[in-house]
Amino acid sequence: MNPVVIDSLEFCRVNERREGRIAVADLPRLGADCVDSSGELAWSLQGGTGRLDFAQLTLAVSGTVQLMCQRCLTPFAHEIAAESVLMLAKDEERADEMDELLDDDTIDVIVASKTLNVPDLVEDEALLALPFSPKHEVCPDVTRLEVLKSKKESPFAALKGLKQ
């Protein structure tokens, strides 16, 4: 992995734009949530100025990762398409003030850095885009699920037999 590190405030000041691709295998936290580390994510990062003249980064992440369906326990391809707006603050105290001033849940406030690691931002955005409980829209092979359901006998069935 070729790390991309930026000076976040300078990046915003000159309205810089960068984009690239990163393999899921190079993102250890994301890879831990995936069935395998195949695939890659495309990303773009745009610097600029947002509301109230605060430095702002706009990050877009897209790609496909392999997740385990929690219903049928088979892998499936999950499409990630996420975008976020990040306002930059000089320190934690200012970040809290900005967050309260903006009063907008769609905008996150982070502390600016001269060495902001872009792959870490991309990984964070991808992790936030993962479903809490990944599932197929319609599971392809429900026979396994049906077998599991049919094998389980209700614990109350035995009590019903004792009652009679």
pLDDT band at 152 (very low <50, low <70, confident <90, very high): low
Average pLDDT, the chain: 87
pLDDT for position 53: 87
Pairing of strands 55-68, 40-49: antiparallel
**Mean predicted confidence (pLDDT) in 19-27:** 95
**What pLDDT, in 10s, does the model give residues 51-94?**
788 899 999 999 999 999 988 888 999 999 999 999 999 999 99
pLDDT for position 106: 81
Q: Single out the residue of 123, 18, 8, 106 nearest to residue 54, CA to CA.
A: 8
- Full residue range of the structural domain in which residue 158 is found: 5-163
Given a cut of 60, whether residue 2 has pLDDT beyond it is no
Given a cut of 70, whether residue 17 has pLDDT beyond it is yes
pLDDT band at 150 (very low <50, low <70, confident <90, very high): low
**What pLDDT, in 10s, does the model give residues 93-147?**
998 888 888 878 888 899 999 999 999 999 999 999 999 999 888 888 666 556 6
pLDDT for position 96: 87
Q: Tally the domains of the chain.
A: 1
Beta-carbon contacts of residue 17 (< 8 Å; ≥ 6 apart): 44, 45, 46, 47
Structure tokens at 17: 């734009």
